[in-house]
């Protein structure tokens, strides 16, 4: 039986395994077969004041840890200015047209940069491999993580209605995974804050694979569990997005967000074409962690 076949079967099983205790049990089985967490040292690309244990404990208890403002002005402006030379695409349309950011058109809700173009940014590879992050994520997953996606996208304001991830949902990408989010623009209450329901990552409420209404979420978890991330650019948070979350539809203004995903295995829905990169050697990257994104 091929590895891809096993990955595919496992992907569809996890999309149907909605009981948190069952998912945890299957995670335990994965830990027997996947590489041990290990320890990362020496890549300090993010300015994270919190200690690893504090971040881990928050992630475990709440499904969420706010890491503060971890990117300097110069890191942000270097990434944003390089992005201005890279094409981004309307992935909601089958033909995936290039989006003209100066005039995206009202029918464009989001515009995504490709993973392979983002993999060419040494800053982004360094961020994804920050040692503190890798150590916390390894402990949380209980295995050596796989960087299974790097994503960066614009969410445009003044659109008619919310679409896709702008409604509350759970991600079901693997049995266990986390996402690291960075705001690259200031995010106000009106410009599409990310919203997470604390504790929902370990709850058996609203576990179906569907979108949830705001009312259902408040009724199931209580308003006090809903955290709305209104923050300036440079803010960063680590989240178990099996927990209920959404990106609020921006009313006005556009939001630029960078995201790194860490999981057990490759995400079955993604087509990986890792880029040959001198960064693997020059930054002494862990080849297993990065294998889907960059290789020697």
Ligand X SMILES: O=C(O)CCC(=O)C(=O)O
Q: By the criterion CB under 6 A, which residues form the site for ligand X?
A: 155, 165, 171, 179, 194, 241, 245-247, 257, 259
Residue 131 has which token pair? 């040692």
Nearer Cβ to ligand X (179/225): 179
Nearer Cβ to ligand X (43/165): 165
Nearer Cβ to ligand X (131/151): 151
Number of other residues whose CB lies within 10 A of the CB of residue 213: 10
**What is the number of alpha carbons within 13 Å of residue 192 lying toward its C-beta?**
28
Nearer Cβ to ligand X (279/293): 293
For the bound state, the minimum distance from the C-beta of residue 173 to ligand X, rounded and expressed in Å, comes to 8
Nearer Cβ to ligand X (124/257): 257
For the bound state, the minimum distance from the C-beta of residue 255 to ligand X, rounded and expressed in Å, comes to 8
Within the chain, residue ranges assigned H as helices are 3-16, 20-33, 52-62, 73-83, 115-118, 122-128, 131-141, 214-221, 279-282, 287-290
Residue whose Cβ sits closest to ligand X:
247
For the bound state, the minimum distance from the C-beta of residue 287 to ligand X, rounded and expressed in Å, comes to 26
For the bound state, the minimum distance from the C-beta of residue 33 to ligand X, rounded and expressed in Å, comes to 26
For the bound state, the minimum distance from the C-beta of residue 246 to ligand X, rounded and expressed in Å, comes to 6
What span, in angstroms and rounded, lies between the C-alpha atoms of 163 and 147?
A: 26
Q: Which of 102, 86, 240 is nearest to 152 (CA)?
A: 86
What span, in angstroms and rounded, lies between the C-alpha atoms of 103 and 111?
A: 12
Question: Any idea which residue has 């079955």 for tokens?
Answer: 268
What span, in angstroms and rounded, lies between the C-alpha atoms of 133 and 48?
A: 9
Nearer Cβ to ligand X (112/202): 112
Q: Which of 281, 283, 280, 282 is nearest to 292 (CA)?
A: 280
What span, in angstroms and rounded, lies between the C-alpha atoms of 61 and 124?
A: 28
For the bound state, the minimum distance from the C-beta of residue 234 to ligand X, rounded and expressed in Å, comes to 16
């Amino acid at each position: 039986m091929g590895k891809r076949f096993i990955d595919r079967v496992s992907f569809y099983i996890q999309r149907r395994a909605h009981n948190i205790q069952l998912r945890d049990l299957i995670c335990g089985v994965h830990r027997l077969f996947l590489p041990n967490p290990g320890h990362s040292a020496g890549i300090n690309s993010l300015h994270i004041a919190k200690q690893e244990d504090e971040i881990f404990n928050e992630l475990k208890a709440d499904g969420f840890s706010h890491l503060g403002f971890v990117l300097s002005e110069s890191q942000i402006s270097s990434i944003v200015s390089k992005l201005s030379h890279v094409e981004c695409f309307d992935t909601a349309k089958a033909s995936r047209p290039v989006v003209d950011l100066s005039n995206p058109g009202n029918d464009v809700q989001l515009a995504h940069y490709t993973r392979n173009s983002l993999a060419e940014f040494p800053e982004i590879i360094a961020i994804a491999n920050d040692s503190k992050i890798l150590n916390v994520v390894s402990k949380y997953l209980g295995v050596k993580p796989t960087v299974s996606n790097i994503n960066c996208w614009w969410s445009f304001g003044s659109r008619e209605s919310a679409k896709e991830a702008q409604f509350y949902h759970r991600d079901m990408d693997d049995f266990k995974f986390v996402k690291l989010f960075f705001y690259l623009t200031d995010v106000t209450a009106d410009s599409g804050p990310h919203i997470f329901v604390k504790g929902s990552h370990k709850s058996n409420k609203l576990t179906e694979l569907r979108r949830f209404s705001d009312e259902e979420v408040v009724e199931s978890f209580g308003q006090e569990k809903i955290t709305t991330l209104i923050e300036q650019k440079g803010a960063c948070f680590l989240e178990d997005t099996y927990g209920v979350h959404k990106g609020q539809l921006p009313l006005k203004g556009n939001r630029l967000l960078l995201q790194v995903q860490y999981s057990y295995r490759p995400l079955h829905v993604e087509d990986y074409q890792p880029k040959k990169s001198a960064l693997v050697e020059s930054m002494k990257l862990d080849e297993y962690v990065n294998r889907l994104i960059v290789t020697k």
